[in-house]
Structure 1
Amino acid sequence: MGDILFETAYLPEHRDSPIIPASGEELAAVIDQMKANGRTDCNYLTIFAIDTDRSHIAHIGVGVDVGNDVGSIYFVGAEGAFFSKGRQVSREPLVYFEFGNPRFFAPDSGIGLSDLKIALTRLYQGGGVKPGNVEWQDWFDAEPE
């Protein structure tokens, strides 16, 4: 496995020009940018971890509650598919928006933004491996029927 490239997007303009962080700290800083931006229609961050041969190692989705210090993360990679497991925030799925489109997370997937930023730093440092500082639960379809 060669160097890993991380492509990230949370605003429409990032579709054609994704954010390419040069470090784990830069990847984690995107969470602060999202909070400062304050847009509730674009509070979902897509992250692709890509190997030098352009194969995807992992797909990560991050929801940020821009009004609070809470977010959620899901990870899909060689280890499987997982949601973060945090405190019970709601009886209903947590909803974040990717360019205005809803993305649903487990009701108990909310974790502190400081833990979320540590997870993104470790994701980068680990080359796209699921970060160990987060408690995980198996992924399931959280979209309401």
Structure 2
Amino acid sequence: MVALEAWFDREAEGPTIVHTPAELDAVSDTVAGWAGPNTVQLLIAEDPGRAILDVGLDAEYARGVLCYSGPDAPDGLMSKGSDTAEEPPLYYFTGSDTEFPVDAEIPLAEVRRAAHEYLGTGGARPAGIEWQPR
């Protein structure tokens, strides 16, 4: 397990450092508690350029999105769900929005599981997620 930088609060002086699953849950709960779909960006604290996992959380609809880039996916990958939305979903990150593919949303439990796996594996792309090109 590694320490992660969790970027999600544009009012903060810097990232929240996450060392444990409980700390990751606290960050996820904070972001999920905000109105609408929001994103937390997770980076490896000791090597922030190695891998990035953007974790989109929409607690109101119990779904979310993932966007990963790392050594095995330098151009980036996005989650691929089984349902298709009518419009591309928008997730917000510190005041900016990001549009995701219409089929990018997956169950919120899977999003949270993937974030825990990313923490536990030191930044490896989470398994058990169907991925599609960015």
Common topology (TM > 0.5) = yes
8 Å contact from structure 1 (residues 24, 120) kept in 2: no
Distance 2:84 2:22 in 1: 27
How big is the alpha-carbon RMSD for the aligned residues of Structure 1 and Structure 2? Answer: 2.0
Partner residue of 1:6?
A: 4
Secondary structure at 2:55 match in 1: strand
Residue of 42, 46, 49 corresponding to 1:47: 42
AA aligned opposite 1:18: P
After superposing on structure 2, the runs of 4+ consecutive aligned residues of structure 1 that deviate more than 6 Å are: none
Per-residue deviation, residues 84-122 of structure 1 (Å, max 9, x unmatched): 111324143211111221111111111111111111111
8 Å contact from structure 1 (residues 25, 121) kept in 2: no
Alignment of 1:29-44 (within 5 A): 29-36=26-33, 38-40=34-36, 43-44=38-39
- Number of paired residues? 132
Distance 1:22 1:50 in 2: 10
Could you tell me which runs of 5 or more consecutive residues in structure 2 were left unpaired when the two chains were aligned. Answer: none
8 Å contact from structure 1 (residues 50, 57) kept in 2: no
Matched, 1:64 2:57: yes
Could you tell me which runs of 5 or more consecutive residues in structure 1 were left unpaired when the two chains were aligned. Answer: 140-145
Q: Percent identity?
A: 26
Distance 1:105 1:134 in 2: 16
Instruction: Describe the shift of the 1:29–1:89 C-alpha distance in structure 2 as closer, same or farther (beyond 3 A).
Output: farther
Task: Report the CA distance between 1:69 and its aligned residue.
Answer: 0.6
Secondary structure at 2:60 match in 1: coil
TM-score (norm 1): 0.80
